[in-house]
C-alpha cells in the first residue's frame, strides 16, 4: 500500500526546547492514524506543517506526493480539515456558516452536509456566537467531512463533545474508513483512538517516542483476575502456583494473565473460589509510561 501522507524528518524549533524535532510519520492509503500526546507535545505544530500553514525549519511533508507547503491550495481541494481552535464567523447562524463553507468549497451536492447535521443532531438555527463549545465542534466536524474528501486531518476532533456525540464521531470515522478514506487525527482520548485507529504515534516533548500497531497492542493487553479464595490456607497455596501475582490482600489475589486463558481457568477450578472479578488493561494504562516519567 502506498503512503498518502509523508512527514519526513520535520523540525520547527521555537527555542527553549519547544517545538517539534525530527518528526517522521507515514500514513498509508485507507489508514486511520492516531496522534497522541500530552498538552504542548507538538501535535498542533505537526498538523500545521502538514496543512502548509507553516514551513518546517528542516524536512518536508507531502500529501499524495505534493509538498504540503508549496502545494497547500491544490492539496486542500480534496482534503478535510478540522482545526484545534476553530475560527467562526460569529454573527452568522449555524446554517449560514455551513452554507458559506459549502459555497467556498464549491459543493453542489450538499447531501453529506445534511446527513451529518442529522447524525450529530445539530440545531443550526441559532447564531454561532451563542453556541456551546460542543455545538461549534459539531459544525467544525461537518465542515471537515461535507465535501466527502479522500484525506481528512483532524486536530482533537471530539474536544467539547459529550460521550453520546463522541460515540457518533467514532461511528463516522469507522464508516469513512470502510469507504477507504485516509484519516490522521490527534486526540487526548485513548478510547476513541483505540476504537478507530490502525496505528498510533505518540509524541512527547516534540519527539516521536513510539509508533504502535493497534492490533499488536490489543494482543499485548493483560487481563487481571481478582480471585477471592475461601480460606487463608487456600490462598497461601494459590500464591505458590506458577501464576503472575500482582498483589495479595488476605484472601483476595490479583493475577495478571496475558494471551491463553484456559490453563488459568483450569487452575482456578481446582480451588474453592468465593468471588471472581475481571479487569482488562486499558490502552491508557499501556500508554501512560510514555506520557509520564522516563520512557
Ligand atoms: N508560534 C509559536 N511560537 C512559540 N512557541 C510555540 C508556537 N506554537 C507552539 N509553540 C510551543 O510549542 C509546543 C508545542 O505546541 P503544540 O500546540 O503543537 O502542542 P499540542 O501537542 O498540540 O498541545 P495541546 O494538546 O495542548 O493542544 C508548546 O510548548 C507551545 O507552547
Question: What distance in Å separates the CA atoms of residue 277 and residue 275, rounded to the nearest whole number?
Answer: 7
Indicate whether 129 pLDDT > 50. yes
For residue range 54-93, what is the model confidence (pLDDT) as tens digits? 999 999 999 999 999 999 999 998 899 999 887 778 889 9
Protein fold of 3-212: Rossmann fold (3.40.50)
Ligand 1, atom nearest to 19 Cα: 12
> So what's the pLDDT on residue 293?
53
- 72 strand-pairing partners: none
> So what's the pLDDT on residue 161?
93
Cα-to-centroid distance, 188 and ligand 1 (Å):
15
> Does residue 39 have its Cβ closer than 6 Å to ligand 1?
yes
Q: What is the ipTM of this complex?
A: 0.95
- For every residue of the chain, which 3-state class applies, written as one string? CCEEEEEEEEEEEEECCEEEEEEEEEEECCCEEEEECCCCCCHHHHHHHHCCCCCCCEEEEEECCEECCCCHHHHHCCEEEECCCCCCCCCCEHHHHHHHHHHHCCCCCCHHHHHHHHHCCCCCCCEHHHCCHHHHHHHHHHHHHCCCCCEEEEECCCCCCCHHHHHHHHHHHHHHHHCCCEEEEEECCHHHHHHHCCEEEEEECCEEEEEEEHHHHHHHCCEEEEEEECCHHHHHHHCCCCCEEEEEECCEEEEEECCCCHHHHHHHHCCCEEEEEEEECCHHHHHHHHHCCCC
> So what's the pLDDT on residue 295?
39
Summarize the confidence of residues 21-45 as an average pLDDT. 95
> Does residue 14 have its Cβ closer than 6 Å to ligand 1?
yes
> Does residue 11 have its Cβ closer than 6 Å to ligand 1?
no
pTM for the model stands at 0.85
Residue nearest to atom 10 of ligand 1 (CA): 19
> Does residue 50 have its Cβ closer than 6 Å to ligand 1?
no
> Does residue 53 have its Cβ closer than 6 Å to ligand 1?
no
- 23 strand-pairing partners: 10
Our mutation pick for probing the ligand 1 site, out of 10, 17, 18, counting the most ligand atoms within 8 A of Cβ, is 18
Considering the chain, what percentage of its residues have pLDDT values greater than 70?
98
Q: Return the higher-pLDDT residue of 290 and 26.
A: 26
Ligand 1, atom nearest to 54 Cα: 1
Q: Residue for cell digits 472479578?
A: 277
Summarize the confidence of residues 134-146 as an average pLDDT. 95
Question: What distance in Å separates the CA atoms of residue 247 and residue 263, rounded to the nearest whole number?
Answer: 20
> So what's the pLDDT on residue 223?
87
Residue nearest to atom 25 of ligand 1 (CA): 39
Q: What is the band of 1 on the pLDDT scale with cuts at 50, 70, 90? A: low
Our mutation pick for probing the ligand 1 site, out of 12, 14, 50, 290, counting the most ligand atoms within 8 A of Cβ, is 14
Cα-to-centroid distance, 243 and ligand 1 (Å):
45
> Does residue 37 have its Cβ closer than 6 Å to ligand 1?
yes
> So what's the pLDDT on residue 282?
80
> Does residue 18 have its Cβ closer than 6 Å to ligand 1?
yes
For residue range 188-214, what is the model confidence (pLDDT) as tens digits? 888 889 899 999 999 999 999 999 999
For residue range 154-201, what is the model confidence (pLDDT) as tens digits? 999 999 999 999 999 999 999 999 999 999 999 988 888 989 999 999
Candidates 3.30.70, 1.20.120, 1.10.10, 3.30.1490; CATH matching 221-291: 3.30.70
Question: What distance in Å separates the CA atoms of residue 287 and residue 24, rounded to the nearest whole number?
Answer: 20
> So what's the pLDDT on residue 294?
44
> Does residue 42 have its Cβ closer than 6 Å to ligand 1?
yes
**Where along the chain do its domains lie?**
3-212, 221-291
> Does residue 129 have its Cβ closer than 6 Å to ligand 1?
no
> So what's the pLDDT on residue 11?
97
For residue range 210-261, what is the model confidence (pLDDT) as tens digits? 999 998 887 777 889 999 999 999 999 999 999 999 999 999 999 999 878 8
> Does residue 291 have its Cβ closer than 6 Å to ligand 1?
no
Residue nearest to atom 3 of ligand 1 (CA): 14
Amino acid at each position: 500500500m502506498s503512503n498518502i501522507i509523508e512527514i519526513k524528518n520535520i523540525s520547527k524549533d521555537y527555542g527553549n526546547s519547544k517545538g517539534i524535532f525530527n518528526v517522521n510519520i507515514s500514513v498509508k492509503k485507507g489508514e486511520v492514524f492516531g496522534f497522541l500526546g500530552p498538552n504542548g507535545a507538538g501535535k498542533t505544530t505537526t498538523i500545521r506543517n502538514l496543512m502548509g500553514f507553516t514551513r518546517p525549519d528542516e524536512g518536508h511533508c507531502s500529501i499524495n506526493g505534493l509538498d504540503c507547503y508549496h502545494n497547500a491550495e491544490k492539496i486542500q481541494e480534496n482534503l478535510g480539515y478540522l482545526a484545534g481552535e476553530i475560527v467562526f464567523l460569529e454573527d452568522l447562524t449555524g446554517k449560514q456558516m455551513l452554507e458559506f463553507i459549502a459555497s467556498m468549497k464549491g459543493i453542489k451536492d450538499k447531501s453529506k452536509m445534511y446527513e451529518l447535521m442529522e447524525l450529530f443532531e445539530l440545531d443550526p438555527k441559532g447564531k454561532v456566537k451563542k453556541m456551546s463549545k460542543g455545538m461549534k465542534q459539531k459544525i467544525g466536524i461537518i465542515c471537515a467531512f461535507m465535501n466527502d474528501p479522500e484525506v481528512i486531518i483532524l486536530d482533537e476532533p471530539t474536544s467539547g463533545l459529550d460521550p453520546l456525540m463522541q460515540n457518533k464521531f467514532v461511528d463516522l470515522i469507522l464508516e469513512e474508513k470502510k469507504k477507504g478514506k485516509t484519516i490522521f487525527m490527534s486526540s487526548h482520548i485513548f478510547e476513541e483512538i483505540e476504537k478507530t485507529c490502525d496505528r498510533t504515534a505518540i509524541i512527547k516533548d516534540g519527539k516521536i517516542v513510539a509508533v504502535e500497531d493497534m492490533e499488536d497492542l490489543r494482543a499485548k493487553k493483560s487481563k487481571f483476575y481478582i480471585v477471592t479464595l475461601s480460606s487463608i490456607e487456600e490462598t497461601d497455596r494459590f500464591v505458590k502456583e506458577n501464576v503472575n501475582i500482582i498483589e495479595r490482600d488476605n484472601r483476595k489475589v490479583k493475577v495478571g494473565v496475558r494471551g491463553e486463558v484456559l490453563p488459568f481457568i483450569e487452575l482456578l477450578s481446582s480451588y474453592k473460589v468465593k468471588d471472581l472479578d475481571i479487569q482488562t488493561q486499558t490502552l491508557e494504562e499501556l500508554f501512560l509510561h510514555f506520557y509520564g516519567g522516563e520512557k
